């Protein structure tokens, strides 16, 4: 069974600053060094992946995106500015994805047909985004996390790759994040933070269980192997927001030192491909309707 390897190509300091500090900065050069590590490691294992590229990174480091494409990886969109969809209206979302699709297609001279939302923000209340993605010409989305999470999740969504029939008559393929049922609960596995927090044996066991039934979807971020930290400025935030920002930052830095090793083990023990290839390998996809798309 082929699993999908996906990398959300963004810079930690840029995204953290935008999402948690409300301050806009440019992506830092750390994203260059960290992405090079991924490119070299993928080359070593002869694995191709899907890179969901944040438009902000593509604007500042266009040559990096060209290099990723030239090395044979699939380029897909992670939007422009990492704003969660529930903070945008339809018009704002549409202009974000249209701009990012064009930016990437101009850079790599290939059609960009996949999208991943910032922080998995396609949820029941933002299901309308799937319709907008299909309208704009995206063929697949990989943003739904079929869990009940604090910040994201669409509990009850189909666990495997499926074709979502939209109310307009269009459809879009959804590639949901991997989950596994443990004691009746859907647990997220195979993704950045979860690979870092759980011991490797758990990720391996979970992925082996999943790939008996369907492709596993692994997602990683370049910065997850980067254990360097620096001072963050939170004085402008309310005490409550300061606590949240610090908690998130500490979680994000956890276990980064051992992440490179875990990624190498994953690459040596599992078969991976870009999402487009994994979708093709699935053959006929199950259709699923999402009710009440508004």
8 binding Zn ion? (CB under 5 A)? yes
DSSP one-letter string for 55-103: HHHHHH-HHHHHHHHHTTPEEEE--SS---GGGS-HHHHHHHHHHHHHH
Minimum CB distance to Zn ion, residue 143 (Å): 10
Which of residues 56 and 118 has its CB atom nearest to Zn ion in the complex?
118
- Residue 134 CB, shortest distance to Zn ion, in Å, is 22
Q: By CB under 5 A, what part of segment 90-149 binds Zn ion?
A: 118
- Which window, 9-17, 90-98, 180-188, 285-293, contacts Zn ion (CB under 5 A)? 9-17
Residue 116 or 276: the one with the smaller Cβ distance to Zn ion is 116
Q: How many residues bind Zn ion (CB under 5 A)?
A: 3
Nearest CB to Zn ion, comparing residues 10 and 74:
10
Interatomic CA distance for residues 164 and 130, integer angstroms: 9
Residue 8 or 131 having the CB closest to Zn ion: 8
Shortest separation between residue 165's beta carbon and Zn ion, angstroms: 28
Calculate the dihedral angle through the C-alpha atoms of 8, 9, 10, 11, rounding to the nearest 10 degrees: 120
Q: What is the DSSP string of 21-68?
A: I----PPPTHHHHHHHHHHHHHHHTT---EEEE-HHHHHH-HHHHHHH
Nearer of residues 6 and 178 to Zn ion, judged by Cβ: 6
User: CB 54 → Zn ion: shortest distance, Å?
Assistant: 7
Place of tokens 């990723």: 68
Q: CA nearest 193: which of 234, 230, 160, 150?
A: 150
Residues 10 to 29: which contact Zn ion by CB under 5 A? 10
Judged by beta carbon, residue 27 or residue 215, the one nearer Zn ion is: 27
Q: Least distance from C-beta 251 to Zn ion, angstroms?
A: 15
Write a three-state SS string for 164-229: EECCCCCEEEECCCCEEEECCEEEECCEHHHHHHCCHHHHHHHHHHHHCCCCCEEEECHHHHCCCC
The region of 3-11, 103-111, 185-193, 264-272 touching Zn ion under the rule CB under 5 A is: 3-11
Least separation in angstroms between CB 257 and Zn ion: 22
The C-alpha atoms of residue 38 and residue 258 are separated, in whole angstroms, by 15
Least distance CB 281 / Zn ion (angstroms): 26
Query: Is the CB of 141 or the CB of 171 nearer to Zn ion?
Result: 141
Q: Which residue's CB comes closest to Zn ion?
A: 8
Instruction: Fill in the DSSP letter of residue 124.
Output: G
Q: Helices 200-211 and 259-269, interaxial angle, to 10°?
A: 30
Residues that bind Zn ion (CB under 5 A): 8, 10, 118
């Amino acid at each position: 069974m082929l699993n999908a390897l996906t990398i959300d190509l963004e810079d930690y300091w840029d995204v953290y600053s935008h999402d948690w500090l409300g301050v806009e900065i440019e992506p830092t050069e750390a994203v260059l060094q960290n992405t090079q590590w991924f490119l070299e490691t993928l080359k070593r294992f002869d694995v191709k992946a899907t890179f969901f590229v944040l438009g902000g990174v593509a604007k500042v480091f266009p040559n990096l995106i060209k290099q990723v494409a030239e090395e044979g990886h699939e380029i897909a969109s992670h939007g422009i500015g990492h704003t969660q969809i529930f903070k945008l209206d339809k018009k704002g979302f549409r202009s974000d994805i249209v701009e990012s699709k064009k930016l990437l297609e101009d850079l790599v001279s290939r059609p960009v047909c996949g999208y991943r939302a910032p922080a998995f923000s396609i949820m029941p209340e933002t299901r309308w985004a799937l319709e907008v993605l299909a309208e704009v010409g995206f063929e697949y989305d990989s943003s739904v996390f079929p869990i009940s999470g604090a910040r994201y999740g669409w509990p009850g969504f189909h666990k495997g790759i499926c074709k979502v029939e939209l109310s307009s008559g269009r459809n879009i393929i959804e590639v949901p994040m991997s989950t596994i049922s443990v004691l009746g609960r859907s647990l997220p596995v195979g993704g950045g933070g979860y690979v870092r927090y759980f011991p490797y044996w758990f990720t391996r066991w979970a992925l082996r269980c999943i790939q008996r039934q369907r492709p596993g979807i692994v997602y990683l971020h370049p910065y997850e192997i980067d254990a360097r930290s620096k001072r963050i400025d939170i004085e402008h935030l309310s005490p409550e927001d300061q606590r949240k920002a610090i908690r998130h930052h500490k979680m994000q830095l956890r276990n980064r030192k051992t992440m490179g090793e875990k990624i190498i083990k994953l690459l040596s023990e599992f078969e991976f491909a870009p999402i487009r290839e994994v979708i093709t390998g699935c053959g006929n996809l199950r259709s699923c309707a999402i009710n009440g798309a508004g």
